Structure 1
Amino acid sequence: MMGDGIDGYAERFARLRTNRNRKGWSGVTAHQAPHKPLLLLCVLDLFESGKVFSNLVEITDDLAELFGRYWERVLPFGRSGNLALPFFHLQSDGFWHLLPKHEDARIGPQISSLSRLQEEVLGARLDEDLYDFVLIKEYRDRLRSVLIETYFSSETRSIVLEQSFINRGAFVYSEELLKHPEDPRVKEALPVEEAYRPAVRDQGFRRAVVTAYRHRCALCGIRVRTLDGHTAVAAAHIVPWSETRDDRPANGMALCRMCHWVFDEGLMWVSSGYEISASPQLTTSANLPGYLTNLEGRGIVGPSQKPFWPDIESLRWHHENVFRAR
C-alpha cells in the first residue's frame, strides 16, 4: 500500500487512471488520454501563482484557460479538450474529492459537461497531506516532473514544461500590470528566463486587458464567452509594442476579431473624448460594413477602473499614424 508521504503521492500521480487506447491516443501522450495530467499541471500552476488560497480547487476562468492552453500546445490539431471530464473523473484516483454545491446534495454518477458540473459541484478538495505538499515549491516541482515524464513523449515534454513556465510567468505579469497600471517599468520585472519572455508578455498582457474590460469589446460592446474559457475578445495594443515596449493596460483595448481588424487597419479611431469615428474607406461602394456603421459617434465601452482607460497620447498616435482619414 502506498504511503501518505510525497513519495506516495508521486507514485499516485504516475499511476493515474486514464483511458489507455493506442488507436485513440498517439505516442505524443504515451497512448493515453492526457486530461487528468493536464488538469493537475494547471492546479500546480495555480498554486505556484498564488491563485489558490485554500484547499479548494474551483472551476474558474483561469483554470479553464490554462487547461485550454496546455491542450492546444500538446494536441494542436487533435480533438478538443473537455475540462469537465478530468475534473469529475479524477476522484477515482483517491486524492481528489468533489464537493457538492448544495448541502446534502448528491453528485451524479456521471458528469461530462461543464454546465452540469458547475451546477452540481462547488469544487474539489485535495487530501490534506497532498494540499500541504503542493504549498511547497520543491514538492510542486517534483509532482510536475512526474506528470510530464510519465504522460508525454520525450519530444513533447519540453513543450509542456515551456507552457508551464509561460502560464506561471504570464499570471504574475498580468497581476503586476493590473496592480500598477501606470508604471511602464513593470515589463522590466518579468519573472522568467529571457527565452520565455515574449510568450509570457503576450499572454500576460492579454489576461490583464481582457480582465480589465470584463471580456467586453470596447468598440461594439459584444461579450460572448464559453464555459471552457474561450472569449470573443482579444487584447489589442493601441500603439504597437514594437514601437514603445508599452504593455500598460492603458495602451490596450479588448476588441472582438472584427473590431480588432478594423482598428488595426485604421478603419476606425477612438477620439480623446472616447468617441468612435469611422474612416471614409469603411463605407466605400464595394464594402458591406453592416453593424460597424452604427458605431460612428458612439462612446467606447471602457473598463470599470479609470486607470485602465485608453491613454490619450496612445490614441493620438493611432490617429496620426494608422487611421485612414481619407
Structure 2
Amino acid sequence: MLLVMEWFERVARMRRWTRGGERDPHRALLLLLALGDLHRRGYTQLRYRDIEEPLGELLTEFGPAKPASPGYAFHQLAADGLWEVFTPHGTGSPGPDAAALRAYDAAGRLVPRFAKELLADPTAFAQIVHLLLQLNFEPGLHEDLRMAVGLPHEPPVPVTLAANLQGLLPRARPDVLLRQKVLVAYDCRCAFCGFEGWMGNSVVGLEAARLRWWAFDGYDDLSNALCLCTLHHRLLDRGVLSLSSSGTILVSRQFVGTTESSHALVDSLVGRKAAQPKVGFPAPHRNNIDWHVRQVFRGPARTA
C-alpha cells in the first residue's frame, strides 16, 4: 500500500498545480486515456500519431472552451512522474509541437513501475481512476468519461482505501444534503424548464446542479447550486447550457438538435429567465455563474 500511495500522491499533486480556479485537465485526460488502454490491452506504448485524434476529441469534449493541444498534453504529462515520452532514436520528447511529435514518431507510455503495480492491484487501479475523476470533473461526467476512454463502471469504494483517498482530496466530501436543500428552495421544480415529478412521496428526475464544480472550490451552498432536471443538469455540466449574470439561460451555438423535442427542451430556452429560488433562499452568486461561463460553457451563446 505504501508504494501505491506514492502514485495517489502524484496524481493529487497533478491537480493541485492548477491555478486560480481555471480548469486545465489536459494531463488528467491523457492519463485516463492511457489507463483505459492499459485496462483493455495491457502494458503497451502509445504512438502520438495514433492517439492525437482521440486525445484531441477528449480535450474538446471535456476540457474548457479553449483546451490545450494534444501535443502539449502528450509532452507535459511526463513532468508528473507518471508518463514518459521517447522516440525510436532513443531520445526523450521532442517537445509539445504536434508536427515534431509526428515527425520523430514519438511514443509515450505509463512509467513501468506505475503500470506494473496497477496491473497487480485492481483495487488500486480503480481508485487511481476514481481520484483522477474526483479531482478534475463533476460527478455527472464520470460515466461519460469512463465510456469515452474504455474504462469499466466504477466499483464500490473499499472503506479503508476511501479513508486514505480523503486525505488527498482538497477538502471534505460534498454535502449529501445539498439536493434536499435545493429541492426546498426551488419548490421541487427545474429552474430551466419547470419539470416536476413524483413517485409516491419521492421526488424523481430532479438534481442539485453546481455552477462552480466541487473539484474547483465550488462549495455546496445554494449560492452555487440550481435545481435542474436530469437532462438539463447533464447539459449544464457538458457546457451546452449556462446562465448570464442577469439570470438568463444561455444555450451554446455548438449544440445541434434537429427534432421537435430538441427544440422544445433546449432551443426554446434561449433568452428565457431561469426560475429564482423562493423568498428567503439565496440565488446563484455572480462569481459562480461567471466561473461556469468561463470554464465550462461552450460559448458563444445563441441569440433569441
TM-score with structure 1 length normalisation?
0.40
Q: Which has the higher contact order (CA 8 A, sep 6+)?
A: 2
Q: Which has the larger radius of gyration?
A: 1
